[in-house]
Chain A
Amino acid sequence: MYLGYSLTPFGHHPRAWEHARNVEKLGFDALLAQVTAAESAGFDFVLLADRLGLRPAETPSSVATPFEPTLLASALASKTPRIGFVAAAAMAQHEPYNLARRFASLDLIGKGRLGWLAIPSGDPARDAEYFDVVTGLWDSYEPDAFLYDKAEGRFFDPEKMHVLNHKGVHFSVRGPLNVNPSPQGRPVVAQVFDGAGAPIAGDVLFLGARSVEDLTAMTEDAVQAVAACGKKRADVRILANLVPVIGETAEAADAASAALAFVEADRAEQPLSGIRIVSTADTIAGRMTELAASLGLDGFTILPPTLDMARLFVADVAPKLARRGSVGEGETLRGRLSLPHLTHPAKEA
């Protein structure tokens, strides 16, 4: 089972800040402490969802970090050796060259532990072209292109550099990228699955269904969409979002849930949503294992409603989940998620 940790300053509940009324929680050190705890508990990646590209008009959101997510990922990656980072960036807000370059650079800083949560623009044809440009730019150099041959004065082999020369409907991008190739071939690409026929370019799909019934249907849709795009099911990780409400006893969990007073109106402030499971740590771990098996899910992204619930999940639930053995330094995010090894297009022939 694969596990992601969605990072917010106070938790995903829109009034979670009332339970931890401390401006230090908004700072880098407090966010790093959350990430380090998740890393120690064996989480595979941290998700920096950034309200899925929604920019504040009048007032900031308490459920988003007060940092631009790709740069926050760089800072966090420089302070952690193992955990992966999936950072949101909207295709309507970045030129494809800039985005490809940013993530290529992040992936060097994080030594192959970076992923991009691609936020769609609303135009599927434009987004499909955008993915082609970004992928093509990431393939600008073959993995063995860089020679560093001081005696011959040859930094890289020019035969192994590929100029994109993309001229499409929406974008015109010459290339090549001016960043060394990714240690994991390409950064991991993730998407929020919305079932609406958007192109599936991703290695990871996040499912935001709010009930088990909806999640069952959405998982089936996702599996079909993957097949429809010509991808193998085994080459994609399908992860459900999960809001855990944990108590020492089932009654305590119910009381905690009642105290948090989840209301539907709060969803508007929290663009990420997920199934909510209210119970003891043991029961939640069991339910997660059952759901993964019965629905064919690869894992979950945890949306802790509060910082207390984050601590309880890390301490009490995560150790009970069946997970692969401990992960060493130097492993890429692609490796951690057991995604297929990428072969550069020039090597496929």
Chain B
Amino acid sequence: MSERHMKLGAFLMAGGHHIAAWRHPDAHADAGSDIAHFIELARIAEAAKFDMIFIEDAAAIRERNADLASQAARSTAFEPLSLLAAIAVNTTHLGIVATASTTYNEPYGLARAFATLDSLSGGRAGWNLVTSASELEAKNFAASGLRPHSERYERAEEFADAALKLWDGVEDGAYLPADGAAFADRTRLHPLHHHGKHFAVDGILDSQRSPQGRPIMVQAGASDVGKELAARTADVVFAASQTIGEAQAYYADVKARLAKYGRAKTDLKVMPGISPIVGATDEEAKAKHRALQELIPDPVGVALLASYLSIQDLSSYPLDGPLPEMPPTNLIQSRQQLIVDLGKREGLSIRELARHFAGARGHWQVVGTPVQIADAMEERFAGGAADGFNVMAPLFPSGLQDFTTLVVPELRRRGLFRDDYEGRTLRQNLGVGAPASR
């Protein structure tokens, strides 16, 4: 057995993950609408042999208040699937993972879209399944508002099953069979006839079978039903964990759920987010962090914190006081708990929590030298907390370049990361099993 290597994803976002990245002197302020910028970022990640790039999604503006929205570069973005279609044909080995909602799409259309990404990329596509927890998204699709968490997940389960069956409904060699009598060999096509509670799907996808069998399935759900769906269907899970203890508990929890679905522990890769701020020295890293933090307008940070807590408004509470008690929510329950816990553990004020979360947006942030960052990653990788990391550079392209030129060589020196791609498909590079067609 070869040595175990970290999996690395580059989570891309316009000017950077830091909420105020676009204001940084090095930032292209209009990066979010510049396709050349994203192709450049993908090529940086590919040159460093990253497993994948990852794009998040929201089918709505993220902030209700127009004044606050107008101060955030995240208010507008490329739609992820169209963005990744362009990146697919401008890269050769890099996995491309897009987020898409099971609540506001239907299975045939979305399975078809991911089959297309998988074909365009030669077997490098992945789907991060989300159920869309925001009220603002709900308001773009129905007058009835956001559906409850349990109902969204019930739909997601049925959606995922239909998508998997559609992808597996076309065998290798179904198009232009060697015997040549017909354009397609019907014995290698298995139309889906799904009539469930939420969907009716009849037919086959009009794509050839992917070189990696079917797209990689990714999830980030941290609720109990989310983890169960991941254990059953996902190849990769992203997770937001602050401490190594939280990360270890999450890792052990999802891995323990695999056996009952007949899956091995290596069949699911756990890749928590890391927000690295890299400097040649500790002082330089801290100075880079400070420069970004000072660009955050307080109202923007506090509104972002409120949205992570799934509450309407925090602006009536004193900025330098603690968080108020939180009502229970049917939204993203796990992230709310994470913020409340951090606030209590470290005694942080609303302003401090806002700055903290605006910066890394709930993910694990490490500010330091390449050695310090590699140490922190190695501790979690070797300590049963991660199979790899989803790297959230605070600023693009420089924050990603800092990571690829300074941290990646340090990881390689320690034998923790690949020198070259193992294969051409995302499934090969992640080292997760290929599914059989139906």
Contact = CB atoms under 8 A, between A and B. Distances in A.
Interface of A: 17, 21-23, 26-28, 32, 55-62, 64, 66-68, 70-72, 74-75, 77-79, 93-95, 97-98, 101-102, 104-106, 108-109, 141, 146, 148, 150, 153-158, 161, 163, 167, 172-180
A18 B62 CA distance: 51
Given A57-B203, A67-B120, A71-B117, A78 B112 contact: no
B23 A178 contact: no
Contacts of A156: 70, 75-76
Contacts of B33: 108, 179-180
Nearest to B71: A153
11 contacts: A28-B89, A58-B204, A67-B207, A68-B112, A68-B113, A97-B60, A154-B71, A155-B70, A155-B75, A163-B66, A178-B77
Most central of A17, A57, A105, A172 by chain B CB within 10 Å: A105
Nearest to A161: B66
Contacts of B119: 27-28, 66-67
B82 interface: yes
Contact of A178 (B22, B75, B90): B75
A109 B35 contact: yes
Contacts of A106: 82
B309 to A, nearest CB: 21
Contact of B58 (A79, A157, A178): A178
Contacts of B207: 66-67
Of A27, A67, A72, most buried by chain B (CB within 10 Å of CB) is: A67
B178 to A, nearest CB: 10
A28 B120 contact: yes
A64 B175 CA distance: 13
B35 A104 contact: no
A55 B30 contact: no
Given A61-B206, A67-B207, A161-B66, A74 B86 contact: yes
A153 B19 CA distance: 11
B90 A78 contact: yes
B129 to A, nearest CB: 16
Contact of B202 (A57, A70, A98, A105): A57
Contacts of B116: 67-68, 71-72
Given A68-B116, A93-B109, 6 more contacts: A23-B176, A71-B113, A97-B60, A161-B69, A172-B139, A178-B75
B61 interface: yes
A109 B184 contact: no
Contact of B83 (A66, A109, A172): A109
Contacts of B378: none
Interface stretch (B140-148, B258-266, B394-402): B140-148
Closest 4 pairs (CB-CB, A-B): A148-B29, A172-B143, A105-B79, A78-B86
Interface string B14-56: 0000001011110101101101000100000000000000000
Nearest to A14: B183
B11 to A, nearest CB: 18
Nearest to A68: B116
Contacts of A57: 191, 202-204
B83 A105 contact: yes
A60 B104 contact: no
B162 interface: no
B13 interface: no
A66 B79 contact: no
B373 interface: no
B105 interface: yes
B360 to A, nearest CB: 20
A178 B66 contact: no
A161 B65 CA distance: 11
Contacts of B295: 153
B120 A62 contact: no
A148 B71 contact: no
B435 interface: no
A62 B175 CA distance: 9
A59 B186 contact: yes
A329 to B, nearest CB: 14
B175 A66 contact: yes
Contacts of B191: 57-58
A190 B40 CA distance: 33
A74 B85 contact: yes
Contacts of A141: 76
Contact of B204 (A60, A70, A78, A98): A60
A291 B207 CA distance: 38
Contact of B66 (A59, A93, A101, A158): A158
B180 A21 contact: yes
Contacts of B106: 93
Interface string B225-264: 0000000000000000000000000000000000000000
Interface in B54-104: 58-62, 66-67, 69-73, 75-79, 81-83, 85-86, 88-90, 104
Contacts of A61: 183, 206
B204 A178 contact: no
Given A94-B109, A150-B29, A62 B79 contact: no
B136 interface: yes
B201 to A, nearest CB: 10
A59 B205 CA distance: 9
B82 A70 contact: yes
A56 to B, nearest CB: 5
Contacts of A74: 82-83, 85-86
A109 B82 contact: yes
A104 B39 contact: no
A95 B22 contact: no
B175 A180 contact: no
A168 to B, nearest CB: 10
Contacts of B24: 150
Given A95-B104, A109-B35, A158-B70, A174 B297 contact: no
Contact of B79 (A78, A79, A101): A101
A249 B142 CA distance: 60
A127 to B, nearest CB: 18
Nearest to A27: B119
